Homo-oligomer: A and B are copies of this chain.
Amino acid sequence: MKPVLRLGLIGSGFMGRAHAFGFATAARVFDLPFRVEFACLADATAEVAAAAAARLGFARSTADWRAMAADPAIDLIDITAPNALHRDMALAALAAGKPVYCEKPLAPTAVEAAGMAAAAAAAGVATQVGFNYLANPLIALARQMIAGGELGEIASYRGIHAEDYMADPAAPWSFRLDPVGGGVLVDLGSHALATAEFLIGPIARVMADCVTRFAHRPGPDGAARAVAVDDVTRAFLRFANGASGSLEASWIATGRTMQHDFEVYGSRGALVFTQERFNELRYFDTRDRRGRHGFRTITAGPEHPPYGDFCPAPGHQLGFNDLKAIEIAGFLDALAGRAPEPFGFAAGARVQALVEAVQGSAAEGGWRDV
User: Nearest B residue to A312 by beta-carbon distance?
Assistant: B14
A209 close to B288 (CB less than 8 A): no
Q: Does A284 contact B (CB under 8 A)?
A: yes
A234 to B248, CA, bound (A): 12
In chain A, positions 288-309 with a C-beta closer than 8 Å to chain B are 288, 290-299, 301, 303-304
Annotate A307-322 by CB proximity to B: 1 below 8 A, 0 otherwise. Answer: 0001111111111111
Interface segment, one of A20-28, A87-95, A103-111, A335-343? A20-28
Annotate A13-44 by CB proximity to B: 1 below 8 A, 0 otherwise. Answer: 01001001100110011000000000000000
A169 close to B316 (CB less than 8 A): no
B299 close to A257 (CB less than 8 A): yes
Which among A214, A270, A294, A295 has the greatest number of chain B C-beta atoms within 10 A? A294
B319 close to A317 (CB less than 8 A): yes
Band of interface residues on A:
35 or more
Q: Does A5 contact B (CB under 8 A)?
A: no
Shortest Cβ distance from A186 into chain B, in angstroms?
17
Residues of chain B lying within 8 A (CB to CB) of residue A141 = 291
A315 close to B213 (CB less than 8 A): no
A316 close to B258 (CB less than 8 A): yes
Residues of chain B lying within 8 A (CB to CB) of residue A293 = 296, 298
Annotate A196-212 by CB proximity to B: 1 below 8 A, 0 otherwise. Answer: 00000000000101010
Which among A17, A165, A255, A292 has the greatest number of chain B C-beta atoms within 10 A? A255
Shortest Cβ distance from A101 into chain B, in angstroms?
18
B319 close to A168 (CB less than 8 A): no
Q: Does A357 contact B (CB under 8 A)?
A: no
Q: What number of copies of this chain does the assembly contain?
A: 4
User: Nearest B residue to A313 by beta-carbon distance?
Assistant: B257
| Cβ 8 A contact of A294, one of B243, B252, B298 | B298
A234 close to B232 (CB less than 8 A): no
Residues of chain B lying within 8 A (CB to CB) of residue A211 = 156, 244
A246 close to B244 (CB less than 8 A): no
Q: Does A231 contact B (CB under 8 A)?
A: yes
Q: Lowest 10 A-B CB distances belong to which pairs?
A: A319-B319, A257-B315, A255-B284, A291-B303, A296-B296, A258-B315, A316-B320, A209-B236, A254-B270, A294-B297
B286 close to A292 (CB less than 8 A): no
A234 to B245, CA, bound (A): 8
B246 close to A169 (CB less than 8 A): no
Q: Does A253 contact B (CB under 8 A)?
A: yes
Q: Does A8 contact B (CB under 8 A)?
A: no
